[in-house]
Amino acid sequence: MNDRLETRVTRMLGIRYPIVQSGLARIAGAELAAAVSEAGAIGQISTVGLDGPDELRSEIRKARSLTRAPFGVNFPLGRADIAAMLDAALEARVALIAFTAGNPAPWIRRCEGSGARILVLTAGPELARKAEAAGADIVACVGFEGGGHLGRTEETTLVMVPRIVDAVRIPVLASGGIADGRGLLAALAMGAEGVEMGTRFVATTEARAHDAYKRALCAAEPEGTVVIKRSLGTPGRVLRSPYVQHVAALEAAGASAEELLPLIAGSVNALAVQEGHLNQGYVWAGQSVGLIREVEPAGEVVRRTVQQALAYLARLRGMTREAEIEVERT
């Protein structure tokens, strides 16, 4: 079976399938990135939680010991140690550098001439156009059903993707709510040239997350996620828990940033992700939890996603053939 799904994104990155594993903060290490890339998609190592450039170099070396396929490194902006870690990633000649949560323009300039492809995560046509003008090679757009940080407009993936496809000339990745082959095919049908999946890859054997977190994702329904941090201007979707309900109630009651920030600190997230104390912290998760029922190897997720997209594509082709026959009969 010819199972290639070729787009500008696959050609640009030298990969087989247009699936990008999100830069999952504190969760996406060398093992996950390598497993995704080895299966023909592309994984990313997250820099969140790493101790600095030496630890990043060691993650890159580890990923290279597990796969010869290209992978990326993900940089949420606004942290103090970005420059040194970015230089380490560029020196190591990784295939993909991704920026999110901040103005990527100065950092894209720093990557010039490195040979790395630049992905920028956005949440609206205006930001996508700015990323294109700044030199991004690919933009990913995340709709409001997604896990982690979201745009402020609450625009969902189904509306945002075609709007961004119309707004830029560079290839677009659809993100937010995509966890299987139907989502991949729908994204391609809307003009996206691939998808970025986050929550789906947390529930994999290679993800550096506590089993309790992975199991909770498999058990959750979409209404088991909730958006917090709206009052701070940085909305993010997390898994519902008594802890999160408490934070949401404080926000609704008008709590100040000083009151909220200690409750939503990265260290609180780290504790829940790594120790599995889901009631003493918060973990990111998208509505796509409703499509995830099993913790699986990441490579298996990639293979099944592609096979399902192709099966549904064949079904659509069947529909158009039937339509042609109908037309001939009339």
Using the structure block, give the residue that is written with the tokens 């699986």.
Answer: 296
Count of residues touching ligand FMN (by CB under 6 A): 30
Under DSSP, the state recorded for 208 is S
178 binds ligand FMN (CB under 6 A): yes
Residue 238: enclosing H or E segment and its boundaries? strand 236-239
| Residue 39 near residue 298 (C-beta atoms within 8 A) | yes
- Residue 325: both structure tokens together: 């026959």
94 binds ligand FMN (CB under 6 A): no
Of the candidate residues 5, 13, 27, 309, the single one contacting ligand FMN (CB under 6 A): 27
* 297 conformational bin, left if phi > 0, alpha if psi -120 to 50, beta if neither: beta
90 binds ligand FMN (CB under 6 A): no
- Residue 304: both structure tokens together: 């099944």
Tell me which residue has its CB nearest to ligand FMN.
Answer: 198
236 binds ligand FMN (CB under 6 A): no
Please choose, out of 62-70, 81-89, 166-174, 280-288, the segment that lies near ligand FMN by the rule CB under 6 A.
280-288
171 binds ligand FMN (CB under 6 A): no
Q: Minimum distance between the CB of residue 285 and ligand FMN, rounded to whole angstroms?
A: 6
88 binds ligand FMN (CB under 6 A): no
Helix, strand, coil content of the chain in percent (nearest 5): 50, 15, 35
Please choose, out of 60-68, 242-250, 281-289, 300-308, the segment that lies near ligand FMN by the rule CB under 6 A.
281-289
Residues 6 or more apart whose CB falls under 8 angstroms from that of 220 comprise 239, 240, 285, 289, 290
DSSP 100-151: ESS--HHHHHHHTTS--EEEEEESSHHHHHHHHHHT-SEEEEE-TTSSEE--
Q: Minimum distance between the CB of residue 47 and ligand FMN, rounded to whole angstroms?
A: 8
Residue 102 CB burial class (10 angstroms; 0-12, 13-18, ≥19): middle
Of the candidate residues 284, 299, 305, 309, the single one contacting ligand FMN (CB under 6 A): 284
Of the candidate residues 8, 48, 70, 277, the single one contacting ligand FMN (CB under 6 A): 48
- Counting Cα atoms < 13 Å in the Cβ hemisphere of 241 gives 21
Strand partners, 239: 225
- CB burial of 128-154 (b: ≥16 within 10 Å; e: otherwise) equals bbbbbebebbbbbbbbbbbbbbbbeee
Q: Minimum distance between the CB of residue 111 and ligand FMN, rounded to whole angstroms?
A: 16
Q: Minimum distance between the CB of residue 67 and ligand FMN, rounded to whole angstroms?
A: 21
Please choose, out of 65-73, 87-95, 143-151, 259-267, the segment that lies near ligand FMN by the rule CB under 6 A.
143-151
Please choose, out of 29-37, 142-150, 240-248, 310-318, the segment that lies near ligand FMN by the rule CB under 6 A.
142-150
34 binds ligand FMN (CB under 6 A): no
121 binds ligand FMN (CB under 6 A): yes
Under DSSP, the state recorded for 1 is -
Alpha carbons 31 and 49: distance in angstroms, whole number: 16
Please choose, out of 61-69, 88-96, 175-183, 301-309, the segment that lies near ligand FMN by the rule CB under 6 A.
175-183
202 binds ligand FMN (CB under 6 A): yes
Q: Minimum distance between the CB of residue 240 and ligand FMN, rounded to whole angstroms?
A: 14
Of the candidate residues 22, 122, 225, 305, the single one contacting ligand FMN (CB under 6 A): 22
Nearer to ligand FMN, 27 or 190 (CB): 27
Nearer to ligand FMN, 111 or 197 (CB): 197
Sites of contact with ligand FMN (CB under 6 A): 22-25, 27, 46, 48, 74, 76, 98, 100, 121, 142, 146-148, 175-178, 196-200, 202, 284-286, 288
